[in-house]
Amino acid sequence: MKEYDKNVITTQALRRMPYYIQQLKILLSENVETVAAPKIAELLKLNEVQVRKDFAAVSSTKGKPKAGFPVKELITNMETLLGYHNTDEAVIVGAGSLAHAILAYEGIKAYGVRIVAAFDVNQAYIGTEISGVKVLSAEKISDLCRRMKIHIGIITVPAEQAQVVCDQLVAGGVLAIWNFAPIHLSVPEDIIVQNENLAASLAVLSKHLREVMIRNEESE
């Protein structure tokens, strides 16, 4: 079993690994057994040195400059490091449209996450089920998380409610938060927060689209 040095594997490297895994699985389906870092860097438009360091940090064997790294080994080690082969239970707070989409997404289970409960303050949602997951009163967040030893919380509530929800999750022992609310959350140093700001992402896409359209118009 590969021993991982947490000082070598940065948070940024961990965020790149799902993209590595996806590309490596494509190569594996094409019967590619070894791959060099420059090839992956080219396919994913990443820095070659960066990719080589990431691969070296998770590979059980040192990749050779020409032969490259074993594809199967890289996939296995990265999936193990990311916890894909474990099942971490999570809860989701907010039972609106975004929560429905997340709960309906079967692919989330492939990443080792199983959502066991949903919460909301809206009485119309409480007691109902979303994709087989029961919606409970938000008052029960801390108690249920503590009782079930839940370590992952997903926030899909409006920005003005997010910090209160975050505090309830932390009080319940949650250590990692996937935040979809467009707000910066204040958490203790040992709590991991992954922000997914949909508005910011859309703004970046819109800006890029406008720039491309302007260039196309100028070239005509």
Report the first-to-last Cα separation within the chain, whole angstroms.
58
Q: Please check whether the domain covering 88-200 is classified as CATH 3.40.50.720.
A: yes
What integer pLDDT is reported at residue 85 of this predicted model? 65
Q: Per the structure block, which two tokens stand in for 14?
A: 């961990």
Please give the distance of CA 104 from its chain centroid, rounded to a whole number.
16
> What confidence category does residue 63 fall into, taking pLDDT thresholds of 50, 70 and 90?
low
Virtual torsion, Cα 91, 95, 100, 105, nearest 10 deg: -10
152 touches 88 (CB < 8 A): yes
> What confidence category does residue 29 fall into, taking pLDDT thresholds of 50, 70 and 90?
very high
Class of CATH domain 11-82: mainly alpha
Supply the pTM of this predicted model.
Answer: 0.67
Across all residues in the chain, what is the average pLDDT? 87
Average pLDDT over residues 178-205: 87
> What confidence category does residue 27 fall into, taking pLDDT thresholds of 50, 70 and 90?
very high
Distance CA(135)–CA(133), nearest Å, equals: 7
Written as one string, the DSSP assignment of the chain is -PPP-TTTS-HHHHHHHHHHHHHHHHHHHTT--EE-HHHHHHHHT--HHHHHHHHHHH-SSPPBTTTBEEHHHHHHHHHHHHTTTS-EEEEEE--SHHHHHHHH-GGGGGGTEEEEEEEES-TTTTT-EETTEEEEEGGGHHHHHHHHT--EEEE-S-HHHHHHHHHHHHHTT--EEEE-SSSPPP--TT-EEEE--HHHHHHHHHHHHHHHHHHHHHH-
Sketch the domain layout of the chain as residue ranges: 11-82, 88-200
